[in-house]
């Protein structure tokens, strides 16, 4: 059984008409997973309610108090925007906190079973910086999950692999000073947000950025995984691997120009499983509904082999 952490409350983060990061993303994935041949092997779990978990101390390790209050105030005043792309609706603050809780539940599930789990939450998080949100992201889910994991017994090193088509500037900025966390990102370059140069190595040689040229397909990605991603992750010897699982590098995706296919994410998953079975996959981007849902199916299917 593979745990999938999900709640219909994640649909209550409303981003507005024609916004690509829309609730239908989760609905499409849910439909696809329930129709998959392995549907009986999925264990659907609800995230721990925010009032049942002490979230704020961990959140304050990553984000400033002023920023957290700003998101809360925009939501409570009826909604607005953090920037031109990043919407906050009346429920967004509560939903974003629940997303953080879900990622922490995902960590717990992996450590409990020694096998992968998938967090199907929104809003995404890898662009969220310490003191501002951007790129559809409110709170830095992956970075918070990594720091939360390090408080658990026996967890001394956490690696984050970010295969979203956009560089996770927020995640990198938060973890690059922490010798217990390694971060590896494959991302289209040039592309939003313009960060993620190969020369950025972190304070402890713990960052590996792999900019991919527009038009790259699996023939270009596969040797990069084999020669760079896997050795970097394996050398770090993580006690837990967190995957910022964005699916916007698909050829069908409207927001970038990488030419992967949904089944390619199954191959990426195989590479990760070769490093460790203790993997938390957490949803980031992916905006073509069919390609997104098929890619998540491919990811989970490989975990069940």
Q: Which residues are catalytic?
A: 127
Rounded to whole angstroms, the Cα distance separating 12 from 16 reads 11
Rounded to whole angstroms, the Cα distance separating 50 from 121 reads 14
The answer to whether residues 143 and 276 touch, using CB atoms and an 8 Å cutoff, is no
List the structure tokens of 141: 């889910």
- Nearest residue to 278 (alpha-carbon basis) of 244, 245, 239, 236: 239
Rounded to whole angstroms, the Cα distance separating 96 from 91 reads 9
List the structure tokens of 72: 């809360």
Which residues, at least 6 apart from 140, have a Cβ–Cβ distance to it below 8 Å? 62, 63, 125, 126, 128, 129, 170, 171, 174
- Nearest residue to 282 (alpha-carbon basis) of 135, 69, 139, 130: 139
List the structure tokens of 270: 């195989």
Burial class (CB in 10 A: 0-12, 13-18, 19+), 35: exposed
The answer to whether residues 169 and 132 touch, using CB atoms and an 8 Å cutoff, is no
The answer to whether residues 240 and 280 touch, using CB atoms and an 8 Å cutoff, is yes
Instruction: Give the up-direction half-sphere exposure of residue 61: CA atoms within 13 A in the CB hemisphere.
Output: 17
């Amino acid at each position: 059984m593979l745990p999938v952490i999900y709640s219909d409350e994640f649909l209550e983060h409303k981003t507005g008409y024609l916004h690509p990061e829309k609730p239908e993303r989760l609905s499409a994935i849910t439909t696809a997973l329930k129709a998959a041949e392995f549907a009986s092997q999925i264990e659907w779990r609800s995230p721990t309610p925010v009032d049942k978990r002490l979230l704020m101390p961990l959140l304050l390790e990553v984000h400033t108090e002023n920023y957290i209050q700003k998101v809360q105030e925009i939501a409570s005043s009826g909604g607005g925007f953090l920037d031109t792309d990043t919407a906050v609706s009346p429920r967004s603050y509560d939903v974003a906190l629940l997303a953080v809780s879900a990622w922490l539940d995902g960590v717990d599930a992996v450590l409990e079973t020694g096998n992968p789990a998938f967090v199907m939450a929104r809003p995404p998080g890898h662009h969220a910086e310490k003191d501002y949100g951007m790129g559809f992201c409110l709170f830095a889910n992956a970075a918070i999950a990594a720091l939360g994991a390090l408080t658990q017994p026996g967890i001394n090193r956490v690696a984050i692999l970010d295969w979203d088509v956009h560089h996770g500037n927020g995640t990198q900025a938060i973890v690059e000073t922490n010798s217990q966390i390694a971060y590896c990102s494959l991302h289209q370059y040039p592309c939003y947000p313009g960060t993620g140069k190969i020369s950025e190595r972190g304070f402890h040689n713990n960052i590996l950025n792999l900019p991919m040229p527009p038009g790259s397909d699996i023939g270009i990605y596969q040797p990069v995984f084999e020669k760079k991603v896997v050795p970097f992750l394996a050398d770090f010897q993580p006690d837990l691997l967190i995957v910022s699982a964005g699916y916007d590098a698909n050829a069908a995706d409207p927001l970038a120009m990488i030419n992967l296919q949904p089944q390619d994410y199954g191959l990426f998953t195989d590479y990760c499983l070769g490093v460790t079975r203790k993997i938390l996959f957490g949803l980031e981007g992916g905006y073509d509904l069919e390609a997104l849902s098929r890619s998540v199916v491919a990811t989970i299917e490989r975990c069940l082999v």
